[in-house]
Amino acid sequence: MSAVILDGNRIATDIKNEVAEEIRNLSGSGVRPGLAVVLVGHNPASEIYVRSKVKACEALGIFSEKHTPPESVSTQELLELVHSLNSREEIDGILVQLPLPPQVDAKKVLLAVDPAKDVDGFHPMNVGLLSTQRPGLVSCTPAGVMEILQRSNIPISGADAVVVGRSDIVGKPMAMLLTNANATVTICHSKSRDLPSVCRRADILVAAIGRAGMITREFVKAGATVVDVGMNKVTTQKDLEYFFPGDQKRAQAFAKNGSVLIGDVHPEVAGVVGAITPVPGGVGPLTIAMLMSNTLKAMKLRRGERVREAVVR
């Protein structure tokens, strides 16, 4: 029996519709959430991400503005920009698109973002709030994974969850969110011993590694739920045939674009597990939906009282 496909596009659309409705309900108050995006230089991937973030804001009624300092920007100049955004009342969220150029001290810049406006959830204050189960802003991708699991009625409490990957933006917050939801969590990384046997214990397996198709059949137990966070590219004909034998649609896309997307989970895994997120169309769409949701949440946490007063008046 093949796995249930956990449709990230559908769940992301539901979340965006909920955010848009809340914003519509605020319209009488004259208050609306605002997001400032900082995009340094001309990294093509970053430009695409930022474009889709700004487009999502427009569709949902979130005010957005884009700041585009040149590639040569200094740490000091970026700090000044962040400070000015911190001080503006109508800006609820500040997103500094990564990566930053090598001359910039990225950690210093991210640390300067007001934790109350840190819609990426990267600030140590928000990481601490998450680990102590206090209200705060949570990193978008792992927050999106929780939405997929919860809205798909995957049992989390008491489940054995294994997270492969310990990055600050995906693996660690993912493990914390699952722990907070009462799963028994194991975090794995490149130094973990006998990874397949650890992964086979998982009722919920989250792969956030960055290695094309690394999680094969031997890593999963029958019936498990597998969440594939990875976004990698297949760029050779040999890999295309290895990962997607007989897949005409992907072969055509490969011929046209020179590459196709693949997650960290080998496509063969869909044949043995209970439920799985596809790539593309799984976790990816949730990341932007959660950014929108975080911007609204930041507004409510920071100006909630004022919004309520305005609505009542």
Residues that bind ligand NAP (CB under 6 A): 141, 164-167, 169-171, 188-192, 195, 208-211, 229-232, 283-284, 287
Closest-by-Cβ residue to ligand NAP is 167
Work out how close the CB of 305 gets to ligand NAP at its nearest, in angstroms, rounded to a whole number. Answer: 33
Selected catalytic residue, list 53, 117, 172, 297: 53
Q: Which CB atom, from 136 or from 165, has the smaller least distance to ligand NAP? A: 165
Q: Any catalytic annotation for residue 97?
A: yes
Work out how close the CB of 68 gets to ligand NAP at its nearest, in angstroms, rounded to a whole number. Answer: 22
Token reading at 238: 């040999």
Question: Would you say the C-alpha torsion 302, 308, 309, 310 has a positive or negative sign?
Answer: positive
Q: Any catalytic annotation for residue 248?
A: no
Selected catalytic residue, list 16, 92, 97, 228: 97
Contact yes or no for 207/165 (Cβ under 8 A): yes
Work out how close the CB of 254 gets to ligand NAP at its nearest, in angstroms, rounded to a whole number. Answer: 19
Q: Which CB atom, from 190 or from 237, has the smaller least distance to ligand NAP? A: 190
Give the per-residue SS3 of the chain: CCCEECCHHHHHHHHHHHHHHHHHHHHHHCCCCEEEEECCCCCHHHHHHHHHHHHHHHHHCCEEEEECCCCCCCHHHHHHHHHHHHCCCCCCEEEECCCCCCCCCHHHHHHHCCHHHCCCCCCHHHHHHHHCCCCCCCCHHHHHHHHHHHHCCCCCCCCEEEEECCCCCCHHHHHHHHHHCCCEEEEECCCCCCHHHHHCCCCEEEECCCCCCCECHHHCCCCCEEEECCCEEECCHHHHHHHCCCCHHHHHHHHHHCCEEECCECHHHHHCCCEECCCCCCCHHHHHHHHHHHHHHHHHHHHHHHHHHHHHC
Q: Which CB atom, from 182 or from 190, has the smaller least distance to ligand NAP? A: 190
Work out how close the CB of 32 gets to ligand NAP at its nearest, in angstroms, rounded to a whole number. Answer: 26
Work out how close the CB of 189 gets to ligand NAP at its nearest, in angstroms, rounded to a whole number. Answer: 3
Selected catalytic residue, list 92, 114, 118, 120: 120
Q: Which CB atom, from 13 or from 190, has the smaller least distance to ligand NAP? A: 190
Cα(103)–Cα(59) distance, integer angstroms: 35
Cα(291)–Cα(86) distance, integer angstroms: 18
Cα(39)–Cα(47) distance, integer angstroms: 7
Q: Which CB atom, from 125 or from 169, has the smaller least distance to ligand NAP? A: 169
Work out how close the CB of 248 gets to ligand NAP at its nearest, in angstroms, rounded to a whole number. Answer: 25
Q: Which CB atom, from 232 or from 294, has the smaller least distance to ligand NAP? A: 232
Catalytic residues: 53, 97, 120
